[in-house]
Amino acid sequence: MITHTALIAGATGAIGSALARQLGPQSQWKVYGISRHPPPDPIEGVQYLKMDMTDRRDCEVVLSDHSGITHVFYCGRATHGEQMLESAEDNLRLLDNLIHGVESSEHNLQHIHLVQGGKYYGVHIGPFPSPAKEEDSRAPIPNFNYAQQDYLQERSSQSSWSWSASRPNTLIHYSPSIPRNLVSSLGTYAAICRELGAALDFPGPVGAFHSLTQLTSIDLLARGIDWMSTQQNCANQAFNMTNTDLIRWQSLWPKIADAFEMPCGDVRPMQLTTTMTDRKELWSSICAKYQLQNLPLSSVANWGYLDATFERYWDEVFSHIKARKFGFHDWDDSEEKLLGILRRYQHDRILPY
């Protein structure tokens, strides 16, 4: 029996689509998913609505036709470049237009969930106190995570709905239509190096090879969002969401090289945005040689994202104690999951064996 109606904003994105797959098949959820462009494939149990959150009027009109929304899951993200601060103003405007649209119509809003991330702790800026705890003081930087959380806290205090926020770190997921993807970008890098006769060198600085980091499996994050958005005791709280284990690229690197049957190299800092962008023809020839699906290089790899991930020479460790105390005990094996996703890209002939 349907007891909740979800509106997933950004339902075609990395996190939004994972959440749609989590909620869609559950009988207690009716699920709407919105974005500007339709999803590549329908998702079970999800009704897709085309809507542009930059357009306040569009949000009013589209949402006036669909009543009864109880839960909003904000997984949107304003258009942005890599290795630069994302605009707080643009991101806040999207959220505000969406909430305005929901509140302008006859809905039964109970909860708004906001997806944040390691950026809350300034993971993209430099070393930060770790393990990072949810109540740590903020980094002195402009940050859309802060602007959006402050907005929800203030609006919630004058409304009957509550809010929650999830903070994943670097995501791992199988998403062939999303190039901003650690696993497919890394696998593409490895395949190109192998074809050039090179070993698998680590392209970041020495510190990044040895530092401790945490990953977040996207299906674990989706389960965590489902949990915190439906538990009374999680109202008005933020929770770190990582796999809870720790990795060092140093330990994983030989196993990634093994997956491509290539020699493991050394630390060799380089900007992939410079060394890899001109590899379209080589990638096409790899696709032909290994009879791959022939997806364009720009669909499988985002070099700026990989540079930004591998340049961090500092530890990225988030405490998971708060989620445990509140009742979430899920975890994942980051190494096993990452290698499993890599093999799936190979199996599906997106990356070569």
Ligand X SMILES: NC(=O)c1ccc[n+]([C@@H]2O[C@H](COP(=O)([O-])OP(=O)(O)OC[C@H]3O[C@@H](n4cnc5c(N)ncnc54)[C@H](OP(=O)(O)O)[C@@H]3O)[C@@H](O)[C@H]2O)c1
Q: Which residues bind ligand X (CB under 6 A)?
A: 10-16, 34-37, 51-54, 75-78, 94, 115, 117, 119, 168, 170-171, 178
Of the two residues 12 and 334, which places its CB atom closer to ligand X in the complex?
12
Torsion of CA 17, 22, 25, 26, to 10 degrees: -140
Q: Which tokens is 338 given?
A: 């990452």
Task: In angstroms, give the least distance from the CB of 105 to ligand X.
Answer: 17
For the bound state, the minimum distance from the C-beta of residue 194 to ligand X, rounded and expressed in Å, comes to 25
Give every strand in the sheet of 29-35, ordered side by side: 46-50, 29-35, 4-9, 71-74, 111-115, 162-168, 237-241
Nearer of residues 131 and 168 to ligand X, judged by Cβ: 168
Q: Which is nearer to ligand X, 13 or 122 (CB)?
A: 13
Q: Which residues pair with 337 in a beta bridge?
A: none
Q: Work out how close the CB of 135 gets to ligand X at its nearest, in angstroms, rounded to a whole number.
A: 19
Is 41 or 261 the residue whose CB approaches ligand X more closely? 41
Distance separating alpha carbons of residues 337 and 172, to the nearest angstrom: 8
Q: How far is the CB of 36 from ligand X (least distance, A)?
A: 3
CA 140 to chain centre: 23
Q: How far is the CB of 311 from ligand X (least distance, A)?
A: 15
Give 164 or 286: the residue with its C-beta nearer to ligand X: 164
Instruction: Give the residue with the Cβ less far from ligand X, 7 or 295.
Output: 7
Q: Specify the length of the chain in residues.
A: 353
Q: How far is the CB of 347 from ligand X (least distance, A)?
A: 23
Pair type for strands 170-172 and 200-202: unpaired
* 325, 330, 336, 338 alpha-carbon torsion, rounded to 10°: -90
Cβ-closest residue to ligand X?
A: 13
Shortest Cβ 149–ligand X spacing (Å): 11
Nearer to ligand X, 170 or 213 (CB): 170
Question: Residue 318 carries which DSSP code?
Answer: B
Nearer to ligand X, 50 or 289 (CB): 50
Contact by Cβ (8 Å): 71, 111: yes
3-state SS assignment for residue 219: helix
How many CB atoms lie under 10 A from the CB of residue 131?
A: 18
Q: Exposure of 315 by Cβ count < 10 A (0-12 exposed, 13-18 middle, 19+ buried)?
A: buried
Residue 143 Cβ vs ligand X, minimum distance, rounded to whole Å: 10
Bridge-partner residues for 30, per DSSP? 5
- Is 97 strand, coil or helix? helix
